[in-house]
């Protein structure tokens, strides 16, 4: 640990020097990355300083206790504080997901359940928007296709944060939302009061900091334009403003029709496309490295059903962590933090175990 901390101290000092260079701040993407890493290392440096200080205090107290019994009484307290500080430092030294500090694009898609699924997709959207507000994050609806009865067929939302500490980043919290969300309740369309089970799919992608980060050749994309459809303003069904972009090498398709301008829809589609390509590249890399790097193992599988929302019982349950509570009404109003924290803690424990074995 001493050797690794020595390297981290040198890196921390180097980053501090880089941040004092005005030339760095002319490149927003570079400055953002340096700030994130600096904030991460600053937390480690603070924990390391606390550990070393407590270690010195404990050594001094042990020496003085030989002559004064009063100092012997301090030993258990100092030993406990040192153990707690050491554990905090150990957790901070766990290799962090490099994308934790990134902003996020969330996609919510209605699935099985027809109109009820679309209604619940709208409920999930409101939940995420309220949660983002509670965290001080900014949100931007990039695309939304509405259904009857006020539901949503699909929606894409960008969520941004100004936090420099990766632990407080949007991806650090929202990456656990990807998967199948199951709802159990009596739909508004149900005339006999029967409880139905529906499902909504959620996808989460870390957003690209700068367009240059993911290179997309114009020869690798096909752009189609068409008329917007569904409820909307005067431009709907009258102009070819909607855009569909297909990335030929991967087969990823992104469509946008929210804006009246074809150019705005194209920019939004490229933004989502870059995020999807970045996610695909990282998933491929993680799959290749998973056998060799235990630090990359994640305990939370986003491809499976992750959560159940039971309205009759006012219960929410996360199937990955075992978390369960009976305040679903509050969660749907944006009080999602305890659920997210259960995922973070479960992931941390898995990482800590892997880190200890490495």
- Burial of residue 128, with CB atoms counted within 10 A of its CB: 0-12 exposed, 13-18 middle, 19 or more buried: buried
CA distances from 152 to 38, 123, 172, 264, 316 (A): 40, 9, 26, 22, 22
Q: How much is the pLDDT for 316?
A: 98
C-alpha–C-alpha distance, residues 161 and 267, integer Å: 21
Q: How much is the pLDDT for 125?
A: 97
Q: What is the SS3 assignment for 139?
A: strand
Q: What is the SS3 assignment for 160?
A: strand
Q: How much is the pLDDT for 235?
A: 44
Per-residue confidence of the chain (358 residues) as pLDDT tens digits? 545 688 899 999 999 999 999 888 888 888 888 998 998 899 999 999 999 999 999 999 888 888 877 878 889 999 999 999 998 898 888 888 888 999 999 999 998 768 899 999 999 999 999 999 999 999 999 999 998 788 999 999 999 998 888 989 999 999 999 999 999 999 887 777 888 899 999 999 999 887 778 889 999 999 999 887 655 444 445 567 889 999 999 999 999 988 878 899 999 999 999 999 988 887 776 665 444 333 322 333 344 689 999 999 999 999 999 999 999 999 999 999 999 999 999 988 888 777 665 5
Tokens of 157: 């939302």
Q: How much is the pLDDT for 102?
A: 92
DSSP character string of 217-275: -GGGEEEEEE---SS-STTTTTS--EEEEEETTTTEEEEE-SSS-HHHHHHHHHHHHHH
The edge-to-edge listing of strands for the beta sheet with 252-256 is 221-226, 242-247, 252-256
């Amino acid at each position: 640990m001493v050797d690794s901390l020595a390297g981290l101290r040198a890196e921390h000092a180097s980053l501090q020097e880089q941040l004092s260079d005005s030339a760095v701040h002319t490149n927003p993407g570079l400055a953002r990355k340096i700030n994130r890493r600096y904030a991460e290392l600053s937390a480690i440096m603070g924990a390391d300083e606390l550990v070393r200080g407590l270690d010195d205090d404990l050594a001094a107290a042990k020496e003085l206790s030989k002559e004064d019994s009063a100092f012997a009484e301090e030993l258990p307290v100092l030993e406990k504080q040192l153990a707690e500080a050491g554990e905090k430092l150990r957790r901070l030294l766990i290799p962090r997901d490099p994308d934790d500090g990134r902003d996020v694009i969330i996609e919510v898609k209605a699935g099985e359940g027809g109109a009820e699924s679309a209604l619940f997709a709208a409920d999930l959207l409101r939940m995420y928007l309220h949660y983002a507000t509670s965290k001080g994050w900014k949100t931007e609806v990039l695309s939304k296709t509405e259904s009857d009865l006020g539901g949503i067929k699909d929606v894409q939302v960008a969520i941004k944060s100004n936090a420099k500490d990766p632990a407080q980043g949007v991806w650090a919290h929202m990456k656990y939302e990807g998967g199948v969300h199951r709802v159990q309740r009596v739909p508004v369309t149900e005339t006999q009061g029967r409880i139905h089970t529906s499902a909504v799919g959620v996808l989460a992608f870390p957003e690209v900091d700068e367009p240059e980060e993911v290179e997309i050749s114009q020869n690798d994309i096909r752009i189609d334009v068409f008329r917007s459809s569904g409820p909307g303003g005067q431009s709907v069904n009258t102009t070819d403003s909607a855009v569909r972009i297909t990335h030929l090498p991967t087969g990823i398709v992104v469509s946008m029709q929210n804006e009246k301008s074809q150019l705005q829809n194209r920019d939004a589609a490229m933004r989502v496309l870059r995020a999807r390509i970045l996610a695909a590249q990282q998933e491929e890399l993680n799959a290749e490295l998973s056998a060799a790097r235990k630090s990359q193992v994640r305990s939370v599988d986003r491809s499976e059903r992750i959560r159940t929302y039971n309205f009759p019982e006012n219960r929410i349950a996360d199937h990955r962590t075992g978390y369960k509570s009976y305040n679903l009404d509050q969660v749907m109003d944006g009080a999602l933090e305890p659920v997210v924290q259960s995922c973070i803690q479960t992931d941390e424990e898995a990482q800590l175990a892997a880190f200890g074995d490495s």
